[in-house]
Amino acid sequence: MALALLALAALGQTQPTPAVHAVRVGEPATLTVWNRPVVTLRAKVDEVDPSIRVRNAERRIEDLPTAALRGTVAVAPGQLNELSGVFLTVDSRMIVGILPQDVDPDSGLTLQQYADEAAEQLRGVLRAQVELRTVPEILRAVGLSLAATLAFSAAVWLAVRGRRKALARLEGRLSQRRWVLLGVDVAQYFFAAQRGLARLTAFGVVVIAAYLWLTFVFVQFPYTEPWGRGLGAFLHEELSLLGELVLGAVPKLFTVLLIFVLARLVAGVVNSFFRRVEEGSVLVTWLEPESAKATRRIVIALLWLLTIIVAYPYVPGSNSDAFKGISVFAGLMITLGSSGLVNHVMSGFVLVYSRALKPGDWVRIGEVEGSVTVIGVLSTKLVTRKREEVTIPNAVVVGDRVTNYTRLAQEQGSIVSTTVTIGYDTPWRQVHALLTSAAAKTSALRKDRAPFVLQRALSDFYVEYELRVHLDRPSERVEMLSELHAHIQDAFNEHGVQIMSPHFMAQPGEKIYVPKEHWRDVTARADAQGGSAEPKGPSAR
């Protein structure tokens, strides 16, 4: 009778029940004490669910006296009418009953083996409770946790200090190096990636140190020991998986490295060849030295693109759906965002291969006039007479009119013209002589090319004369014209010839010019005040 009552209590029954019990499998419930799973119950006896049986067992463990925690955990068979099973006892106190229906059929365990495992788990729970109430064990756990905390703090300090030193060293290297690729200084982007890597490394060290510290501290205390062992098992599994992946990827990584090494060697040969063509030490009929630099960039870019395509299948994880998705997304973003960039790049190649201009040429692009300093991948830079650097996108340069003053000036000089209007009362031969004599006094003009005069128009009140001269350096065109205009005024005033500009609506009653005796009037007054009114030009300099 005592055994029957004990079995009833173990099953969760508190009052007599019929001789025949209905036993079926219900929703599994796990008996967990101090974060430690003891046993999973699945059998539903009459109206008693597995969860009720678990709650009854938890209450009995909580009600155990301190002296019973060191008692013996035993597995005893039990019988109630037609039900037969086993129950766990602690110091002869019943904890939970286990029926054959509680055993997972997929586990392959017998009822006795299943009960033995539960008994072993229960012994671990009791030992943990005993250790928690032992002062030396508590002091040991606290001491080890403090030591681990100090080690964790030191690791965080070293990670932060190492990150600061790495960033300071990278800043120093960035200020000393310049790496140009396709006309763009990529050094700043390369060092930005290194700075990000340094920060990420320091953050990773802190995270790993925190994970290890938390795992170690949890293991020291009986109540949190299962959590610590779970963290440790997870880390071990992940590291094992990572190690297997790394070892499996070594052959593919070696293949990728070999492909990039071969590409680097070929790129070195190509770079050396095109640089020699650019310098003029190697002459080929199919390539001009001016376009060798752009051709070198195109060939090397295509070479590295081909290298990436060949090496892509050997990159670990390249066949995964995630890698493919990221590749498609990155390609889509580049395609959508690079339409304007590609336009400027292709326009830059048009400028180079059309040979419309080159560094050092004096050109006019739209309303901007200056010397070409850089023909980059994306833009062209000009330096104006006012020492202003103007950046013009290559697409704008290709779409606008470009006037090159230097290209044809090497053999005969650049032709520069100026226009004056003289009345019909002055012989045209005299006007020609005065204009050419003024040009002969201008210092910046070529002496081996004689200036010449054209009669552009016979207007109502005057004749329009155009003086054309040859200039070696187109960049001095404005200064030369200023000096030439001064000599023209002197020549016409000296001979009493009236210049009809600005336009006259009717012929004046007398000639309008400055007699020679009055040329220095302003200069004399300026000299009296300690200055000079002489025109400034290249000859004056």
pLDDT tens per residue, range 456-467: 998 888 889 999
Give the closest residue to 15 by CA, choosing from 42, 47, 54: 47
Query: In which band, very low, low, confident or very high, does the pLDDT at 531 lie, cut at 50, 70 and 90?
Result: very low
Residue 466: predicted pLDDT? 92
Written as one letter, the residue type at 392 is: I
Residues 179, 190: contact at Cβ < 8 Å? yes
Summarize the confidence of residues 197-210 as an average pLDDT.
85
460/449 Cα distance (integer angstroms): 33
Residue 527 has pLDDT above 50, yes or no: no
pLDDT of 208 above 50: yes
pLDDT digits (tens, 9 = 90+) for 475-493: 777 888 888 899 999 888 8
Find out whether 104 and 148 touch, Cβ atoms under 8 Å. no
Give the burial class of 539: count Cβ atoms within 10 A of its Cβ; 0-12 exposed, 13-18 middle, 19 or more buried.
middle
Q: What pLDDT score was predicted for residue 258?
A: 92
pLDDT, residue 50, reads: 87
Model confidence at 180, in pLDDT bands (50, 70, 90)? low
Across the chain, mean pLDDT equals: 77
114 Cβ contact partners less than 8 Å away, ≥ 6 residues apart: 39, 98, 102, 103, 107
Among the ranges given (5-14, 236-245, 325-334, 381-390), the one the predictor scored with the smallest mean pLDDT: 5-14
pLDDT in tens, 392-432: 888 888 878 888 887 776 666 678 889 998 888 888 898 89
Which pLDDT value is given to residue 368? Answer: 86
Does the structure show a pLDDT above 50 at 14? no
pLDDT above 80: residue 173: no
Furthest-apart CA pair in the chain: how many Å?
Answer: 153
pLDDT tops 60 at residue 532: no
Q: In this predicted model, which residue has the larger pLDDT, 185 or 77?
A: 77
% pLDDT > 90, the chain: 4
How would residue 349 be classed by pLDDT, with cut points 50, 70 and 90?
confident
Between 78 and 207, the higher pLDDT residue: 207
Least Cα distance to 350 among 279, 305, 400, 389 occurs for 400
Q: pLDDT higher for 531 or 179?
A: 179
**Long-range CB contacts for residues 83-87, cutoff 8 Å, separation at least 24:** 83/7, 83/11, 83/21, 83/23, 83/45, 85/7, 85/111, 86/111, 86/112, 86/115, 87/6, 87/7, 87/10
pLDDT in tens, 213-269: 888 888 887 777 778 878 888 888 878 887 877 787 788 888 888 999 999 999 889
CA gap 433, 282 in Å, rounded? 51
Question: Which range, of 292-301, 325-334, 459-468, averages the lowest pLDDT?
Answer: 325-334
pLDDT of 262: 92
Contact 64, 35 (CB under 8 A): no
Note the pLDDT of residue 454.
Answer: 92
Supply the pLDDT for residue 227. Answer: 80
- The ranges assigned to domains in the chain are 2-132, 136-223, 356-404, 414-528
What is the average per-residue pLDDT within 79-103? Answer: 79
- The answer to whether 38 touches 228, Cβ cutoff 8 Å, is no
Whether the Cβ atoms of residue 340 and residue 289 lie closer than 8 Å to each other = no
Could you tell me what percent of the chain has a pLDDT over 70? 79
Q: Which residue has the higher pLDDT, 438 or 536?
A: 438
- Quote the pLDDT of residue 261: 92
- Residue in the structure block whose two tokens are 């070594």: 250
For the record, the structure tokens of 51 come out as 């969860």
Q: What is the pLDDT of residue 51?
A: 85
Mean pLDDT computed over 101-106? 82
Q: Which residue has the higher pLDDT, 290 or 438?
A: 438
pLDDT-derived band at 80 (thresholds 50, 70, 90) equals: low
User: CATH number for the 414-528 domain, one of 3.30.70.100, 3.30.420.40, 3.20.20.450, 3.40.50.12140?
Assistant: 3.30.70.100
The pLDDT score that the predictor gives to residue 185 is 59
The per-residue b/e assignment along 89-119, b for 16 or more CB within 10 angstroms, e otherwise, is bbeeebbbbbbebbbeeeeeeebeebbeebb
Q: Domain 356-404 belongs to what architecture? A: Roll (2.30)
Please report the pLDDT score of residue 498 as a whole number: 83
End-to-end Cα spacing for the chain = 131
pLDDT at site 192: 74
